[in-house]
Amino acid sequence: MDLYRKISYDASKLITKSYSTSFSLGIMAFEKKYREPIYAIYGFVRIADEIVDSFHDHDKAYLLSELRNDTLHAIKEGISTNPILNSFQDTVNRYKIDMELIKAFLDSMEMDLSKSTYDKPSYSKYIYGSAEVVGLMCLKVFLEGDEEKYNKLLMPAKALGSAFQKVNFLRDIQGDFEERGRIYLPDASDHKDITDANKEMLEKEIEAEFDQSLKGIKRLPNGVKLGVYSAYLYYSKLFNKIRKRKIAQILDRRTRIPNPYKLYLLLYSYIKVRVLRLI
């Protein structure tokens, strides 16, 4: 069982590194004991995301339903023959991650199968399930059972997850609309509603959420503070680049942060958090 457990976490680590360079760099900045469970969480959410975004030649609704059933069964039984689900159930059970968070995430993934536009209530529900709860799962790992501190940091963690997701919405507007037929802007029903005014409204929300989340980052355990701050800094820089561009430019070309600059941001974060202790 020890070997299978290790292989399961290695599989989640491989998924993470294959799909996200920036997120992988952030995890490497964590103290070692935090890395495996965060890989497990990311591996799980990545698989669900891929079902709704990439498995176009297959029955996505069926596959997502099977993933839901298999996930809940794995958590209940404490084992899965699927290595990704096995590492995830191990993390969920070890850190007592609330089932409500997992179900809310899967509910948001289901929304991607049937919804292409969102009113404000469904938009808020989608962001909570697709992003905020992922931040709360990670927070459960970071705080290792300290419920009092979890409740105090709950809102900043939700704000950080929401800000990250909304930056992704702006970065990926072109692909979401042209390839998947989705618009992640509240009350935007077609391409005519993808405007600079809508962009600016979303940017104000992101700015406020970044401000709120930074207060929470400063109160995280030292073993994870560097990794979370480096991710915060990366998304802040990406957000600043997006903010300088008009919608027409974003629809024409995806905004990116070059890999060498990501490494620079990680070094800058290290100096600010570990050397100067300003965070």
- For the record, the structure tokens of 239 come out as 């957000």
Using CA atoms of 258, 264, 266, 270 in order, give the dihedral in degrees to the nearest 10. Answer: -170
Given this model, what pLDDT does residue 189 score?
A: 78
Given this model, what pLDDT does residue 101 score?
A: 98
Given this model, what pLDDT does residue 89 score?
A: 98
Q: Which of 95, 91, 71, 68 is nearest to 82 (CA)?
A: 71
Q: Which of 95, 91, 169 is nearest to 130 (CA)?
A: 169
Q: Residue 66: what are its φ and ψ, rounded to 5°?
A: -65, -40
> What is the Cα 82 distance to its own chain's centre?
22
Phi-psi region of 265 (alpha: psi -120 to 50; beta: other; left: phi over 0): alpha
Percentage of the chain lying above the pLDDT 70 cut: 100
Given this model, what pLDDT does residue 74 score?
A: 98
Beta-ladder partners of 118: 186
Q: What is the CATH number of domain 2-275?
A: 1.10.600.10
Given this model, what pLDDT does residue 25 score?
A: 85
Q: What is the per-residue pLDDT across 97-124, written as a single tens digit (0 to 9) for each?
A: 999 999 999 999 999 999 888 988 999 9
Q: Kindly report the average pLDDT of the chain as a whole number.
A: 95
Q: What is the per-residue pLDDT across 24-71, written as a single tens digit (0 to 9) for each?
A: 888 999 999 999 999 999 999 999 999 999 999 999 999 999 999 999
pLDDT surpasses 80 at 163: yes
Q: Which residue has the higher pLDDT, 179 or 236?
A: 236
d(CA 146, CA 75): 21
Given this model, what pLDDT does residue 179 score?
A: 86
Given this model, what pLDDT does residue 185 score?
A: 84
pLDDT surpasses 80 at 187: no
Given this model, what pLDDT does residue 119 score?
A: 87
Mean pLDDT, residues 164-176 taken together? 95
For 61, 113, 254, 257, the CA distances from 238, given in Å and listed in that order, are: 33, 28, 11, 6
Number of helices (H) and strands (E), helices first, in the chain? 14, 0
Q: Which residue has the higher pLDDT, 180 or 139?
A: 139
